[in-house]
Amino acid sequence: MKHEVKKAEGNVSTMMQFVLMGFSDLSNLQGFLFGVFSIIYIIVIIGNSLIIILTSFDPALQKPMYFFLANFSLLEISYVTVTLPRMLVNLWTQDRSISLLECATQMCFFLILGASECFLLAVMAYDRYVAICNPLHYPLVMNQKMCVQLAVGSWIIGIPVQIGQTTQVFSVHFCNCNQINHFFCDIPPIIKLACGDTSIHEMSAYAGTLLIVAVPFMLILASYCKIICTILKLPTASGQAKAFSTCSSHLLVVVLFFGSTTITYLRPKSYHSAGIDKLLSLFYTIVTPLFNPMIYSLRNKDVIASLRKFFLKK
Protein backbone atom coordinates (compact mmCIF):
# COMPACT_ATOMS: atom_id res chain seq x y z
CA MET A 1 0.00 0.00 0.00
CA LYS A 2 1.47 3.37 -0.95
CA HIS A 3 1.22 6.34 1.39
CA GLU A 4 1.96 9.44 -0.65
CA VAL A 5 3.42 12.32 1.34
CA LYS A 6 4.45 15.65 -0.06
CA LYS A 7 7.17 17.15 2.13
CA ALA A 8 6.77 20.67 3.44
CA GLU A 9 8.89 22.76 5.77
CA GLY A 10 10.57 21.08 8.74
CA ASN A 11 8.77 18.10 10.15
CA VAL A 12 5.42 19.16 8.71
CA SER A 13 3.87 17.35 5.74
CA THR A 14 1.03 18.03 3.37
CA MET A 15 -0.83 14.72 3.19
CA MET A 16 -1.95 13.58 -0.23
CA GLN A 17 -3.34 10.32 1.11
CA PHE A 18 -4.72 9.02 4.41
CA VAL A 19 -5.25 5.52 5.76
CA LEU A 20 -8.59 4.72 7.44
CA MET A 21 -7.63 2.26 10.16
CA GLY A 22 -11.27 1.35 10.86
CA PHE A 23 -11.42 -2.05 12.52
CA SER A 24 -7.95 -3.20 11.47
CA ASP A 25 -7.21 -4.13 15.09
CA LEU A 26 -9.86 -6.88 14.78
CA SER A 27 -7.94 -8.75 12.10
CA ASN A 28 -9.67 -12.09 12.75
CA LEU A 29 -13.15 -10.57 12.35
CA GLN A 30 -12.81 -8.77 9.02
CA GLY A 31 -15.03 -11.23 7.12
CA PHE A 32 -17.59 -11.34 9.92
CA LEU A 33 -17.75 -7.53 10.14
CA PHE A 34 -18.15 -7.30 6.36
CA GLY A 35 -21.13 -9.68 6.52
CA VAL A 36 -22.78 -7.90 9.46
CA PHE A 37 -22.41 -4.40 8.01
CA SER A 38 -23.55 -5.59 4.57
CA ILE A 39 -26.76 -6.99 6.10
CA ILE A 40 -27.29 -3.78 8.09
CA TYR A 41 -26.85 -1.65 4.95
CA ILE A 42 -29.36 -3.78 3.01
CA ILE A 43 -31.89 -3.54 5.87
CA VAL A 44 -31.44 0.25 6.10
CA ILE A 45 -31.99 0.66 2.35
CA ILE A 46 -35.01 -1.68 2.22
CA GLY A 47 -36.65 -0.39 5.42
CA ASN A 48 -36.35 3.29 4.60
CA SER A 49 -37.23 2.76 0.92
CA LEU A 50 -40.39 0.94 1.97
CA ILE A 51 -41.44 3.92 4.08
CA ILE A 52 -40.82 6.27 1.13
CA ILE A 53 -42.93 4.04 -1.15
CA LEU A 54 -45.79 3.72 1.35
CA THR A 55 -45.95 7.44 2.12
CA SER A 56 -45.79 8.32 -1.57
CA PHE A 57 -48.52 6.03 -2.89
CA ASP A 58 -50.91 5.23 -0.03
CA PRO A 59 -53.73 7.87 0.08
CA ALA A 60 -54.11 7.28 3.83
CA LEU A 61 -50.56 8.56 4.36
CA GLN A 62 -50.87 11.73 2.27
CA LYS A 63 -50.38 13.96 5.30
CA PRO A 64 -47.63 16.41 6.31
CA MET A 65 -46.42 14.08 9.07
CA TYR A 66 -45.71 11.30 6.56
CA PHE A 67 -44.30 13.69 3.96
CA PHE A 68 -41.63 14.65 6.49
CA LEU A 69 -41.18 10.99 7.42
CA ALA A 70 -40.46 10.17 3.75
CA ASN A 71 -37.87 12.96 3.64
CA PHE A 72 -36.37 11.63 6.86
CA SER A 73 -36.10 8.11 5.40
CA LEU A 74 -34.42 9.45 2.25
CA LEU A 75 -32.03 11.39 4.46
CA GLU A 76 -31.20 8.24 6.45
CA ILE A 77 -30.38 6.33 3.25
CA SER A 78 -28.11 9.17 2.09
CA TYR A 79 -26.52 9.51 5.53
CA VAL A 80 -25.56 5.83 5.74
CA THR A 81 -24.41 5.71 2.10
CA VAL A 82 -21.79 8.38 2.77
CA THR A 83 -19.88 6.15 5.20
CA LEU A 84 -20.93 2.49 5.06
CA PRO A 85 -20.09 1.49 1.41
CA ARG A 86 -16.57 2.87 1.83
CA MET A 87 -16.16 0.90 5.04
CA LEU A 88 -17.37 -2.28 3.31
CA VAL A 89 -14.84 -1.77 0.49
CA ASN A 90 -12.06 -1.33 3.07
CA LEU A 91 -13.10 -4.52 4.89
CA TRP A 92 -13.33 -6.51 1.65
CA THR A 93 -10.13 -5.35 -0.08
CA GLN A 94 -8.09 -4.50 3.04
CA ASP A 95 -6.94 -1.41 1.10
CA ARG A 96 -7.70 1.34 3.59
CA SER A 97 -6.15 4.26 1.68
CA ILE A 98 -8.23 7.33 0.90
CA SER A 99 -7.08 10.49 -0.87
CA LEU A 100 -7.27 13.89 0.79
CA LEU A 101 -9.98 15.01 -1.67
CA GLU A 102 -12.06 11.87 -1.07
CA CYS A 103 -11.67 12.28 2.68
CA ALA A 104 -12.72 15.95 2.58
CA THR A 105 -15.68 15.14 0.31
CA GLN A 106 -16.85 12.36 2.59
CA MET A 107 -16.59 14.58 5.67
CA CYS A 108 -18.40 17.47 3.96
CA PHE A 109 -21.37 15.35 2.85
CA PHE A 110 -21.49 13.61 6.22
CA LEU A 111 -21.64 16.93 8.07
CA ILE A 112 -24.21 18.42 5.68
CA LEU A 113 -26.52 15.41 5.99
CA GLY A 114 -26.04 15.37 9.76
CA ALA A 115 -27.07 19.03 9.92
CA SER A 116 -30.07 18.28 7.68
CA GLU A 117 -31.15 15.52 10.05
CA CYS A 118 -30.98 17.87 13.04
CA PHE A 119 -33.16 20.50 11.33
CA LEU A 120 -35.58 17.97 9.83
CA LEU A 121 -36.19 16.52 13.29
CA ALA A 122 -36.94 20.09 14.44
CA VAL A 123 -39.40 20.52 11.54
CA MET A 124 -41.12 17.25 12.48
CA ALA A 125 -41.44 18.48 16.06
CA TYR A 126 -43.00 21.73 14.78
CA ASP A 127 -45.46 19.68 12.71
CA ARG A 128 -46.55 17.77 15.84
CA TYR A 129 -46.79 21.07 17.76
CA VAL A 130 -49.19 22.57 15.21
CA ALA A 131 -51.22 19.34 14.98
CA ILE A 132 -51.71 19.06 18.74
CA CYS A 133 -51.69 22.68 19.93
CA ASN A 134 -53.53 24.28 16.97
CA PRO A 135 -55.52 21.44 15.36
CA LEU A 136 -58.10 23.75 13.75
CA HIS A 137 -55.40 25.74 11.96
CA TYR A 138 -53.30 22.70 11.07
CA PRO A 139 -54.53 22.31 7.43
CA LEU A 140 -53.94 26.03 6.81
CA VAL A 141 -50.54 26.27 8.48
CA MET A 142 -49.09 22.98 7.23
CA ASN A 143 -50.22 23.33 3.62
CA GLN A 144 -48.30 21.73 0.76
CA LYS A 145 -46.26 24.84 -0.01
CA MET A 146 -45.20 25.24 3.63
CA CYS A 147 -44.26 21.54 3.92
CA VAL A 148 -42.07 21.70 0.79
CA GLN A 149 -40.38 24.90 1.99
CA LEU A 150 -39.64 23.42 5.42
CA ALA A 151 -38.30 20.19 3.90
CA VAL A 152 -36.08 21.99 1.36
CA GLY A 153 -34.87 24.36 4.06
CA SER A 154 -33.86 21.42 6.24
CA TRP A 155 -31.86 19.87 3.42
CA ILE A 156 -29.89 23.00 2.48
CA ILE A 157 -29.62 25.09 5.66
CA GLY A 158 -26.42 23.42 6.86
CA ILE A 159 -24.57 23.50 3.53
CA PRO A 160 -22.62 26.80 3.89
CA VAL A 161 -21.75 26.15 7.54
CA GLN A 162 -20.50 22.64 6.92
CA ILE A 163 -18.55 23.52 3.77
CA GLY A 164 -16.83 26.21 5.84
CA GLN A 165 -16.20 23.77 8.68
CA THR A 166 -14.69 21.17 6.32
CA THR A 167 -12.46 23.82 4.74
CA GLN A 168 -11.34 24.91 8.21
CA VAL A 169 -10.46 21.35 9.27
CA PHE A 170 -8.45 20.58 6.12
CA SER A 171 -6.60 23.91 6.21
CA VAL A 172 -4.31 22.59 8.97
CA HIS A 173 -0.80 21.23 8.40
CA PHE A 174 -0.55 17.51 9.02
CA CYS A 175 2.36 15.72 10.67
CA ASN A 176 4.04 12.64 9.20
CA CYS A 177 1.41 10.24 10.56
CA ASN A 178 -1.42 9.77 8.06
CA GLN A 179 -3.34 7.01 9.86
CA ILE A 180 -6.92 8.01 10.77
CA ASN A 181 -8.01 5.88 13.72
CA HIS A 182 -11.63 5.76 12.56
CA PHE A 183 -13.79 4.07 9.94
CA PHE A 184 -14.64 7.33 8.12
CA CYS A 185 -13.29 10.87 7.87
CA ASP A 186 -14.66 12.74 10.87
CA ILE A 187 -13.56 15.95 12.56
CA PRO A 188 -11.96 14.66 15.83
CA PRO A 189 -9.64 12.01 14.28
CA ILE A 190 -8.57 14.38 11.48
CA ILE A 191 -7.73 17.17 13.94
CA LYS A 192 -5.58 14.69 15.90
CA LEU A 193 -3.25 14.37 12.88
CA ALA A 194 -2.57 18.12 12.76
CA CYS A 195 0.76 19.65 13.80
CA GLY A 196 1.22 22.52 16.21
CA ASP A 197 -1.48 24.30 18.17
CA THR A 198 -4.92 23.13 17.01
CA SER A 199 -6.94 24.93 19.68
CA ILE A 200 -8.40 27.45 17.20
CA HIS A 201 -9.50 24.69 14.84
CA GLU A 202 -10.95 22.68 17.72
CA MET A 203 -12.90 25.68 19.02
CA SER A 204 -14.15 26.47 15.52
CA ALA A 205 -15.33 22.88 15.04
CA TYR A 206 -16.90 22.90 18.50
CA ALA A 207 -18.74 26.19 17.81
CA GLY A 208 -20.00 24.99 14.43
CA THR A 209 -21.27 21.72 15.88
CA LEU A 210 -22.85 23.52 18.82
CA LEU A 211 -24.70 25.83 16.44
CA ILE A 212 -25.97 23.00 14.22
CA VAL A 213 -26.99 20.78 17.16
CA ALA A 214 -28.15 23.31 19.77
CA VAL A 215 -30.47 25.44 17.60
CA PRO A 216 -32.63 22.54 16.33
CA PHE A 217 -32.59 20.90 19.76
CA MET A 218 -33.85 24.09 21.46
CA LEU A 219 -36.63 24.33 18.84
CA ILE A 220 -37.57 20.70 19.51
CA LEU A 221 -37.51 21.32 23.27
CA ALA A 222 -39.73 24.41 22.92
CA SER A 223 -42.19 22.48 20.72
CA TYR A 224 -42.46 19.59 23.15
CA CYS A 225 -42.87 21.87 26.16
CA LYS A 226 -45.92 23.38 24.42
CA ILE A 227 -47.13 19.93 23.34
CA ILE A 228 -46.90 18.45 26.85
CA CYS A 229 -48.69 21.44 28.39
CA THR A 230 -51.50 21.09 25.82
CA ILE A 231 -51.81 17.32 26.30
CA LEU A 232 -52.02 17.60 30.08
CA LYS A 233 -54.99 19.94 29.66
CA LEU A 234 -56.98 17.36 27.68
CA PRO A 235 -60.05 16.19 29.65
CA THR A 236 -59.74 12.42 29.09
CA ALA A 237 -56.95 9.93 29.67
CA SER A 238 -57.66 8.29 26.30
CA GLY A 239 -57.22 11.63 24.55
CA GLN A 240 -53.93 12.19 26.34
CA ALA A 241 -52.70 8.71 25.42
CA LYS A 242 -53.63 9.20 21.77
CA ALA A 243 -51.84 12.56 21.63
CA PHE A 244 -48.73 11.14 23.27
CA SER A 245 -48.70 8.17 20.88
CA THR A 246 -48.45 10.50 17.85
CA CYS A 247 -45.24 12.00 19.30
CA SER A 248 -43.59 9.00 20.95
CA SER A 249 -41.82 7.66 17.84
CA HIS A 250 -40.36 11.04 16.92
CA LEU A 251 -39.33 11.73 20.52
CA LEU A 252 -37.51 8.39 20.74
CA VAL A 253 -35.59 9.10 17.51
CA VAL A 254 -34.68 12.58 18.80
CA VAL A 255 -33.28 11.14 22.05
CA LEU A 256 -31.25 8.48 20.22
CA PHE A 257 -29.80 10.82 17.58
CA PHE A 258 -29.15 13.96 19.64
CA GLY A 259 -27.95 11.95 22.65
CA SER A 260 -25.25 10.07 20.73
CA THR A 261 -24.27 13.13 18.63
CA THR A 262 -23.90 15.37 21.69
CA ILE A 263 -21.76 12.83 23.54
CA THR A 264 -19.54 12.36 20.48
CA TYR A 265 -18.88 15.98 19.52
CA LEU A 266 -19.53 18.13 22.57
CA ARG A 267 -17.92 16.21 25.41
CA PRO A 268 -14.55 17.52 26.72
CA LYS A 269 -11.42 16.56 24.77
CA SER A 270 -9.97 14.74 27.81
CA TYR A 271 -12.82 12.22 27.59
CA HIS A 272 -12.16 11.35 23.93
CA SER A 273 -10.73 7.95 23.05
CA ALA A 274 -10.56 6.24 19.66
CA GLY A 275 -12.49 3.16 20.81
CA ILE A 276 -15.38 5.10 22.38
CA ASP A 277 -15.53 7.52 19.44
CA LYS A 278 -15.84 4.61 17.00
CA LEU A 279 -18.52 2.94 19.10
CA LEU A 280 -20.59 6.13 19.40
CA SER A 281 -20.14 6.88 15.70
CA LEU A 282 -21.41 3.39 14.83
CA PHE A 283 -24.47 4.13 16.93
CA TYR A 284 -25.61 7.35 15.26
CA THR A 285 -24.34 6.60 11.72
CA ILE A 286 -25.52 2.99 11.40
CA VAL A 287 -27.59 1.69 14.34
CA THR A 288 -30.00 4.64 14.54
CA PRO A 289 -30.85 4.61 10.78
CA LEU A 290 -31.32 0.83 11.12
CA PHE A 291 -33.92 1.17 13.88
CA ASN A 292 -35.70 4.32 12.70
CA PRO A 293 -37.99 2.52 10.18
CA MET A 294 -38.85 -0.04 12.86
CA ILE A 295 -39.58 2.66 15.44
CA TYR A 296 -41.93 4.53 13.11
CA SER A 297 -43.55 1.37 11.72
CA LEU A 298 -44.18 -0.55 14.93
CA ARG A 299 -45.44 2.49 16.86
CA ASN A 300 -47.74 3.91 14.17
CA LYS A 301 -51.10 2.33 13.37
CA ASP A 302 -51.43 4.07 9.99
CA VAL A 303 -48.04 2.79 8.82
CA ILE A 304 -48.82 -0.75 10.06
CA ALA A 305 -52.16 -0.71 8.21
CA SER A 306 -50.44 0.54 5.05
CA LEU A 307 -47.78 -2.18 5.35
CA ARG A 308 -50.48 -4.85 5.63
CA LYS A 309 -52.25 -3.54 2.55
CA PHE A 310 -48.98 -3.37 0.64
CA PHE A 311 -47.98 -6.98 1.38
CA LEU A 312 -51.50 -8.37 0.94
CA LYS A 313 -51.61 -6.84 -2.55
CA LYS A 314 -48.25 -8.39 -3.35
pTM: 0.87
Averaged pLDDT score across all residues of the chain: 84
Bridging pattern class, strands 13-15 and 17-20: unpaired
Q: Is the pLDDT of residue 10 over 70?
A: no
Residue (of 68, 58, 166) closest to 121 by Cα position: 68
| Domain 25-312 annotated CATH 1.20.1070.10 | yes
pLDDT of residue 269: 64
Task: Convert 109-141 into a string of H (helix), E (strand) and C (coil).
Answer: HHHHHHHHHHHHHHHHHHHHHHHHHCCCCHHHH
pLDDT tens-place string over residues 70-109 = 999 999 999 999 999 999 998 898 888 889 899 999 999 9
Residue 167 reports pLDDT greater than 70: yes
Give exposure, 184-200, as e/b (b: 16+ Cβ within 10 Å): bbbbbbbebbbbeebee
- Of 91-100, 126-135, 173-182, the range with the lowest mean pLDDT is 173-182
- More confidently predicted of 120 and 314: 120
Burial class (CB in 10 A: 0-12, 13-18, 19+), 203: exposed
pLDDT at 28: 84
Q: Above 90 in pLDDT, residue 222?
A: yes
- Judge contact between 204 and 168, C-beta under 8 A: yes
Say what the pLDDT of residue 271 is: 61
pLDDT at 314 over 80: no
Helices 100-133 and 199-232 cross at an angle (nearest 10°) of 20
Residue 274: pLDDT band (50, 70, 90) is low
Domain ranges of the chain: 25-312
- Region of poorest pLDDT, from 75-84, 110-119, 236-245: 236-245
Mean pLDDT of 264-273: 67
Beta bridge partners of 18: 98
Statement: residue 44 has pLDDT above 70: yes
Chain centroid offset of residue 56 CA: 22
Over 90: is that where the pLDDT of 45 sits? yes
